[in-house]
Amino acid sequence: MEQMDKHRREDFVQELFDSIAKRYDLFNAVLTLNQDSYWRSFAVNKAYIKTGQSILDVCCGTGKLSIALAEKAGRQGQIVGLDFSETMLQQAKENIRKTPYSQRITLLQGNALHLPFSDQSFDCTTIGFGLRNVADIAKALSEMYRVTKSGGTVLSVELSKPSAPMLKQLYFLYFEHLLPLIGNLGFKKNQPYYNLPASLRTLPDHSEIQKLFLQVGLKQVTSYQLTGGIAAVHLGIK
């Protein structure tokens, strides 16, 4: 995975999500023991969202974070969910259809590394469990920074690595040994389960992500470690 060049890696990630789109929400709930909804809602509550704001949700996948954002942004709020996987977007469409927010969420196929928006287009820009998957984290953050208005918020919620030694060992035991077994029992395609530990090992830890937030120019950068450091929320103000 680390050896792949950016384009090959993007193709790999896109195919991966195309192949698991239908099972992604279930997979996530099993994988995180249902903590993912709590992590998203924690993130949304920290994002300084006011009613009526325009929000871009990068790497929106099946739309779970976009839906939570729409709930928070109220009737006048406008959310754009962007992802490069067509099948993840189809699943997002289905998920959004079951909510009262269909009119307020627009889905768009596009690349996080080349956001198709002009500078300063959104009050808030979010990425949920996406930084781990993009081929260039710094570039994705600088694109999010670019399209966010001055005074607006850039936020990431992502799986992270616990720092306490015992928890760290348990964590990798779970992701590298137990999870593939669960995957083999319940799901046909186990490739994502083998990819996940690799993507977690190469993901910068929460202090490095904080540095990247500062490097793109964000101010008042804050981070929260959730569930013993298994997930982390980072946010900064432009």
Ligand X SMILES: C[S@@+](CC[C@H](N)C(=O)[O-])C[C@H]1O[C@@H](n2cnc3c(N)ncnc32)[C@H](O)[C@@H]1O
Please give the Cα distance from 150 to 234 (Å, whole number).
18
Write down the least CB distance from residue 133 to ligand X, Å: 4
51 annotated as ligand-binding: no
Q: Which residues contact 227 (CB under 8 A, 6 or more apart)?
A: 35, 39
62 annotated as ligand-binding: yes
User: HSE (CB half, 13 Å, CA atoms) of 213?
Assistant: 28
Contact (Cβ atoms closer than 8 angstroms) between residue 214 and residue 221: yes
Contact (Cβ atoms closer than 8 angstroms) between residue 67 and residue 101: yes
Please give the Cα distance from 234 to 116 (Å, whole number).
23
Question: Which residue, 61 or 236, has its beta carbon nearer to ligand X?
Answer: 61
Question: Which residue, 29 or 164, has its beta carbon nearer to ligand X?
Answer: 29
Question: Which residue, 203 or 221, has its beta carbon nearer to ligand X?
Answer: 203
Write down the least CB distance from residue 166 to ligand X, Å: 27
Write down the least CB distance from residue 57 to ligand X, Å: 7
Applying CB under 6 A, the residues found at the interface with ligand X are 10, 13-14, 17, 59-61, 64-65, 83-85, 88, 111-113, 128-130, 133-134
Annotated binding site for S-adenosyl-L-methionine: 62, 83, 111-112
